[in-house]
Structure 1
Amino acid sequence: MAQFTTLGALIGLALSIILIIKKFHPAYSLMLGALVGGLLGSMNLDLTVNTMMTGAASMMTSVLRILTSGILAGALIKTGSAEKIAEVIVHKLGRSRALFAIALSTMIICAVGVFVDISVITVAPIALAIGREAGYNKESLLLAMIGGGKAGNIISPNPNTIAVSEAFKVDLTALMIKNILPAIGALIVTVLLAKLLSRRQGLLVNEEDVDLPGRSLPSFIQAIAGPIVVIILLSLRSINVTVDPMIALPVGGLVCTLVTGHIRKFGNFSEYGLGKVTGVSILLLGTGTIAGIIKASALQGDVVHLLNVLNIPAFLLAPISGILMAGATASTTAGATVASQTFASVLLAKGVPALSAGAMIHAGATVIDSLPHGSFFHATGGAVNMDIGDRMKLIAFEAIVGLTSTILSVLVYLIA
């Protein structure tokens, strides 16, 4: 029996969204929304607090894995490995395929474990330098990076993937593999849209925008050594040898610093990586509180009833919930987490396979996750020195990229 009313849960979620839009800290916004929603939905303070605690506690496994993933991310960024990967891809593909090269390099960097916003920031200096030489406008360059990042994000061991795999109790590697085809589709659409934008009049790259660091970078083999080790370790499950991401990701970071000759700085790089994942980890705890309230409310039953009344197939709840929750929180991680935590049991009860349901939610969470009330919007705009008004113009194009991967993820489920 539901412990909270649907109305209370929805009011709590709405309050969280309003607070986030008003620039209140997202984690506190979610906690306060959970508290208010729980009280309105039950009139019981103890029950509300305990449910919030339970919801936050359910995030701890994901948080631990995310914290350890910071070791890999810190190593890839601080050793210059991520930058080297992007540089090699761009140079190998050449100026004539620059937009494809930029999108592909961002996709790969994100896919090997660097957060999507950091992936864009890492590739941005190289993209701007190419744009300056080839005459591409900033809109086409930024869309190439964002779209590539979105494609890589749904096949990466990033926080959102980890959170979804935990909610559905599925293997992380299997979840990453499930969305390979949708990721490729998103990459193709990204390049097509970026080329379309490149033919329009837009913001040109100025000399002040180009700031390529002159530091020495590792070789390409050294740069990819850490990610390859992670992929191998996570793939051992196929031969019944299970290596948890909490082990595989830090080992990859250690290998990265070792082969690039920076082993003495391993501690410093890890600390840098920890700083990058701390915010996401705190956000997940806040997300857990509101997810706990929603999960314990009558919302799931009411949604199932609505689906039946409208004669909508139950599996569509997965992508729709991912889209709506990510849009509400302006975060792929928070949106995917709330959607998967809330509707996992409903989708499984309706016979949707856990792996497919998780993949569809995950893909859906990339459609409108970059709205202005989230940090991704501002971080990516700042990476190319673009003001808010011009950055807003890309949201529709980004949504098309995310919608492409979502539709393909649904088709993969229907065909399989």
Structure 2
Amino acid sequence: MTIAWWAALIGLALAIILILLKINPVYSLIFGAIVGCLIGGMDLVQTTNIVIKGSSGVMGTIIRVISAGVLAGVMMESGAANVIARSIVKNFNDKLVILALALSTLILTAVGIFIPVAVLIVAPIALEVGQKMNYSKLSLLVALSGGGKAGNIISPNPNTIAVAKGFNVDLAQVMIADFIPAIVGLVVTIVLALIVKKRGSFIPKDMKFNTSEEKNLPSLKSAIVTPVVAVVLLLITPLGDILGIKAMSAINLDAMYILPIAGLVGALAMGRGNKFISYMSKGLLRMTDVVMILIGADAIAGLIGASNLPQKVVEVVQAGGISGTLLAPIAGILMAAATASTSTGVILASNSFGKSIMSFGISGTGAAAMVHTGATVIDQLPHGNYFHVTAKAVNMEFKERMSVVFWEMLVGLSMTIVATLMYGNFF
């Protein structure tokens, strides 16, 4: 039995409404999936099977996300992420401060730090230099958020892992495919941040900052060991395929092994081997919310997958004369906007619309890149935590934070357009 498309839409809409009402997103998504199944004609047993089947499909992603927690824990708890951010800003002169801030969040997210955490790390530095250069908060947050979005699509983080698993491609392939869109996103971020540098509110001149360096931080050389090891190991197999070196291609190390290994090597390089277990535990705690949201998202993806909604969407796209290729970025944009989450958006888009997207002859890597970049367009809406975390990081009121959404959208849209032109089979 196939669930009617309208029942799936009602279930999804109900989940979104509950999220907007500040009900826990995991329960909102699961409840929406249950209601959608029941009004779509499923009995209680069938509904249970659909929800469980949907949730169980994300286990491979969850294992890799938990593994990513080791790397994230080492980078954040050791102070390595802080060292990298400070070093980047210090090595650029005042005239290039926007580039330095955007590049800082790009690099931090690219090495596995969550984008809201990356913004929180760099925000105090941004406020200090913004006060000195008389740049607006709007400009500073556009730089931080845009850089973070660019780094987010080339990172071994939960959303990249999820979209790679959703289209059954290697994590490193998605990271490589998104590299050029990320560079474009960085350039667009810098241009936009400079355009608005005198708009909006400014940092008060009497605001004081704690400029003293934290003690016991690792050196820059040791701080970059973790991300360097992770990137090198992740690229072995793809580079082997590209260069035709069978020995490299045969290694085929999964992110499940690579990310913890990188974390351990990095901890040892920083002389923090005795704290590695503590870093692991704290990294796992940081991944708990992500794992739970993955389960909820896959439950409602199970509902959509059991319905004829994907087929109806394809029919609408074709009837409107729109290229079927655009289904990939559109799915990413809409699902991420609905849930105000990049990770949840790519799960819903890839698991619910993956088969339909692939039916247009797009490669798995290309589909993943387009969905992934699409999910960065309007994932920063107020019913998600990123909106509020970043507003607090730069002491910004709700109304002004809403004004940033438009500029963030332009950054995500630029990356989506580039990815779509590169992988959309238009030429």
Instruction: Calculate the TM-score normalised by the size of structure 1.
Output: 0.97
Report if aligned partners of 1:116, 1:150 keep a CA contact under 8 Å in 2: yes
Deviations 1:105-146 (A, max 9, x none): 100110011111111111112112211222222111111010
Question: Is the 2:69–2:284 Cα contact (8 Å) retained in structure 1?
Answer: yes
Aligned-pair distance for 1:190? 0.6
Residue 290 of structure 2 corresponds to residue 270 of structure 1: no
Which residue, 342, 346, 371 being the options, matches 1:336? 346
Provide the C-alpha distance between the structure 2 equivalents of 1:281 and 1:115, rounded to a whole number of angstroms.
Answer: 14
Contact 1:173 1:234 in 2 (8 A): yes
Which residue number in structure 2 is paired with residue 366 of structure 1?
A: 376
What is the match of residue 201 of structure 2?
202
Percent of aligned pairs sharing the same letter:
44
Indicate the residue corresponding to 2:359 in structure 1.
Answer: 349
Taking the aligned partners of 2:112 and 2:204, their CA distance within structure 1 comes to 29
The Cα offsets for residues 238-275 of structure 1, whole Å up to 9 and x where unpaired, read as: 22111111111111111221111111111111122112
Q: What is the letter of the counterpart of residue 87 of structure 1?
A: R
The separation in 2 between residues aligned to 1:211 and 1:21, in whole angstroms, is 36
Aligned partner of 1:230: which letter?
A
Q: CA deviation at 1:89?
A: 1.2
Question: Which amino acid in 2 is paired with 1:396?
Answer: F
Contact 2:324 2:360 (8 Å CA) reproduced: yes
Gap change, CA 1:43 and 1:31, over 3 Å in 2: same
* 1:228–1:207 Cα change, 3 Å: farther
- 1:291 counterpart = 2:301: yes
Q: Secondary structure at the match of 1:170?
A: coil
CA contact (8 A) 1:128 1:209 kept: no
- More off after superposition, 265-274 vs 94-103: 265-274
Q: Relative to structure 1, is the Cα distance of residues 398 and 153 closer, same or farther in structure 2, using a 3 angstrom cutoff?
A: same
1:381 aligns with 2:391: yes
1:67 corresponds in structure 2 to 66
- CA–CA separation in structure 2 for the residues paired with 1:110 and 1:45: 42
Residue 91 of structure 1 deviates from its aligned partner by: 1.3
Distance 1:257 1:207 in 2: 39
CA distance in 2, matches of 1:415, 1:112: 32
Confirm or deny that 1:7 pairs with 2:6.
yes
Match status 1:403 vs 2:403: no
| Residues 131, 204 of structure 2: 8 Å contact kept | yes
Aligned pair count reads: 415
Of the three residues 220, 238, 253, the one matched with 1:243 is 253
**In 1, Cα distance between equivalents of 2:208 and 2:53:** 47
Alignment partners' CA distance in 2, 1:226 and 1:262: 12
Conserved in 1, the CA contact under 8 Å of 2:177 and 2:369?
A: yes
Which of the residues 295, 313, 316 maps onto 1:303? 313
| Paired position in structure 1 for 2:115 | 116
Inter-CA distance 272–298: structure 2 relative to 1 (3 Å threshold): same
Paired amino acid for 2:44: L
One-letter identity of the residue aligned with 1:253: G
Query: Cα distance, 1:207 vs. partner?
Result: 5.1
Deviation at 1:62, TM superposition (A): 0.5
- The CA deviation at 1:308 is 2.0
- Provide TM-score, normalisation by structure 2: 0.94
**Match of 1:41, as an amino acid?**
G
Question: What's the CA shift for 1:212?
Answer: 4.7
Consecutive unaligned residues of structure 1, counting only runs of 5 or more, are none
Q: Taking structure 1 as reference, are residues 41 and 206 closer, same or farther at Cα in structure 2, changes over 3 Å only? A: farther
CA contact (8 A) 1:132 1:207 kept: no
1:137 and 1:205 in contact (8 A); partners too: no
Which residue in the other structure is 2:243 paired with? none
SS in 1 for 2:383: coil
1:29 alignment counterpart: 28
Find the counterpart in structure 2 of residue 223 from structure 1.
223
Task: Give the letter for the 1:221 counterpart.
Answer: K
C-alpha separation in 2, matches of 1:40 and 1:261: 58
Shift of 1:201: 4.4
Q: CA deviation at 1:341?
A: 0.5
